[in-house]
Amino acid sequence: MNMTRHRWNQPLKLILATLVATSIWSAAGAPQHASAASSDVQQLTQNRAKQDILAKWLQYRPMDMVKAGYTSEDGIYNTDAIYKQAPQLIAPYSPGKLKPQYIEDGINAANFVRYLAGVPDDLVADSSLEQQQQTGALLNAVNKQLSHHPVQPADMSQSQFDLGYKATSSSNLFLGSNTFYDNVLGYMSDSDASNIDRVGHRRWIINPTMKKTMFGMVYADMSYGYPVPFATMSAFNSERNPSEVSYDYVAWPSAGYFPQEVFSPNDAWSVSLNTSRYDKSHTNDIRVELVRERDERKWSFNASDTDREGKFFNVDTGGYGGIPYSIIFRPDGIEEFAEDDTFSVSITGVYGRDGQAQEIHFQTTMFEMLPHFTANAPIKLHVGETIQLRLESGTQTSDNLFVSSNSSIVSIDAQGRITGIRKGEAYVSVDRYIGDPKSKIVTLRVSGNGDEKVSTWAQGAYLKAKGNGLIPMDFDLNYQRPISRITFTGMAVRMLEIVMKQDIVENQVLHNDINSTPFRDVSDWAVNWANKNGIISGTSATTFSPDATITREQAAKLLLNVYDKALNMKKGAGSSVNATSGGIATATPFADDNLISPWAKNVVYEAVRLNLLQGTDSTHFDPHGKLTHEQTYVILERVFELIEG
């Protein structure tokens, strides 16, 4: 049995072939059918709600590969299981036959992206092309090369080669992904340097007149040490009556709400114009302006933007996807989308068929469709310990699929509660169909019940903090021992990253903002960021004293700094902890008030008022006591809950 290992938390390596348009659709040449009710692309995309998109996702989402028997719990693909009849890659060659369920997964993917684009989402599998598409995949697999124009193997019959060549020369091709669903999403990205100027694979899939397609897949043993799939998707179908679809343009991403999971910040935007309404011979004046509404950042595009790895613009009038007029542009400098991130698109310099100048304007709002874990680093579990993993709220709030890679080590129930069963390592995932795999997967390491335990008083907050991702495995130790300045800083910065839903330290490293440090005794990006952003200072101008401990009154000041920074980052400049109400009022001074340093009195009582920190009992604060690891867990969990509400 051939098995291909693919870890869900590792990126796929994708190779897209360039599809050359060998036919150009026109209304006059299209087959005629009885007219169906016309759908209006612009009306459909601009008027739908998030829940409409979610409903389609639930209709078309990928099959559960584990339940279907194609993948084991730990992500190992059974490459034989997808076939009713296995291919043969030596003479006499045989293309084999895929199981209908596997093909249907690709049809569902195509229909989902077509729905998002606003074109009819009723594609069906074209059974008449089944052997052709399999033979095309076979031909490339035998040659071990992805090509629209493959050479004929010396021992392959002419008739078989001709059939395979017919498939490769009229299909989208893919190498390296195990499912047709992944293939379709890869085609829709289409933004590598060799494809971005025309995004042809994308345009074929969202061709308004397409009604049928078919897929093929054959694995070949390559030099990687495991079988690699060669795949085909027939592209040239145009059997739909053009009168069934009314549109000014077909855009990707479309106007209105659009799920972030199927569009990367590095993907190119495309707007394909209806050539019965727009003149594709008059393109020299076209300009595009893209504005991100939350900060009014603006990108202006024209023919000078030719960086295929960065900011890019092109107008393609080739016959891809039945619409031989597409405006393509990609902004630079977008690392990730915020929730409900709205972009305004303005296109000028286009002309109607009557010669009159026209403009196109629409807005696209990127939203998170699927939930994801807040935890994004390995977590330690003790045998028998149960924690509730926190989910960031995507539009989908029910019917989530939770999976453990090894349920004999870590179990997970339908609500996302995980329990350590025995020693070992496993990972759990939620709706790990599409989108960023890092946010869908949490690695768990289960340890035995040793002598080191969190104190009873801290247990509840400790478990919550772990479920929220605030206590990665490296910080989950030495519970009653004093915490060091560098460890406290690392945990505080991690909490802020979870609150902000972004890798704030990594982003500033990439921009060279925190790569220098004033400290001679530490080299740590989190420390550099926290120092630069007013959370913690050095013990002198040139020293940080990373291993020094923190007193409780010092912790009060640090917590206020963390809280204030969180509010400023979350709500915008000008927010202040002093302007924030809530928490526990402290009218009576602590009995050991006289021990609190004069500089710390106000910050101690403010931290207590906000419930960031409490006394060691009802009457004492112990200002010079050392802050421990478990105390840090509790207070950072309080800050997190105050910010998140």
pLDDT digits (tens, 9 = 90+) for 343-376: 999 999 999 999 999 999 999 999 999 888 889 8
Task: Work out whether strand 424-430 and strand 402-404 pair parallel, antiparallel, or are unpaired.
Answer: antiparallel
pLDDT range class, residue 38, cuts 50, 70, 90: low
**pLDDT computed for residue 439 by the predictor:** 55
- The whole-angstrom separation of Cα 412 and Cα 401 is 10
Going by C-alpha positions, the residue among 236, 270, 232, 233 that lies closest to residue 251 is 270
For 3-367, which CATH superfamily applies? CAP (3.40.33.10)
What mean pLDDT value characterizes the chain? 88
pLDDT digits (tens, 9 = 90+) for 447-482: 877 768 999 999 999 999 999 999 999 999 999 999
Grouping H, G, I as helix, E, B as strand and the rest as coil, residue 185 is: helix
**Percentage, residues of the chain above pLDDT 70:** 88
- If you write DSSP's letter for every residue of 521-581 in order, what string do you get? S---HHHHHHHHTTS---SSSS---TT-B-BHHHHHHHHHHHHHHHHHHHH-TT--GGG--
pLDDT digits (tens, 9 = 90+) for 496-532: 999 887 777 766 655 555 567 899 999 998 999 999 9
CATH of 376-468, one of 2.60.40.420, 1.10.260.40, 1.10.240.10, 2.60.40.1080: 2.60.40.1080
**pLDDT computed for residue 296 by the predictor:** 96
Chain Cα centroid distance, residue 7 = 16
**pLDDT computed for residue 188 by the predictor:** 98
Going by C-alpha positions, the residue among 581, 583, 592 that lies closest to residue 618 is 592
pLDDT range class, residue 64, cuts 50, 70, 90: confident
- The whole-angstrom separation of Cα 139 and Cα 123 is 26
Grouping H, G, I as helix, E, B as strand and the rest as coil, residue 643 is: helix
Q: Report which DSSP code applies to 261.
A: G
pTM, full prediction:
0.82
- The whole-angstrom separation of Cα 224 and Cα 214 is 28
**pLDDT computed for residue 581 by the predictor:** 42
Q: Give 511's contacts (C-beta < 8 A, 6+ positions apart).
A: none
Grouping H, G, I as helix, E, B as strand and the rest as coil, residue 293 is: coil
pLDDT digits (tens, 9 = 90+) for 298-308: 999 999 999 99
pLDDT digits (tens, 9 = 90+) for 260-300: 999 999 999 999 999 999 999 999 999 999 999 999 999 99
According to DSSP, the residues that pair with 380 across neighbouring strands are 445
Tell me how long the chain is: 645
Asked whether the domain spanning 376-468 has the same topology as the one spanning 3-367, the reply is no
Listed by start position, the domains of the chain span: 3-367, 376-468
Q: Give the burial string for 276-293 (b: 16+ CB within 10 Å, else e).
A: eebbbeebeebbbebbbe
**pLDDT computed for residue 509 by the predictor:** 55
**Percentage, residues of the chain above pLDDT 90:** 73
Give whole-number Cα distances, 162 to 91, 166, 168, in Å.
Answer: 16, 6, 10
Q: What is the mean pLDDT of residues 581-588?
A: 51
Q: Give 109's contacts (C-beta < 8 A, 6+ positions apart).
A: 60, 62, 180, 181, 183, 184, 185
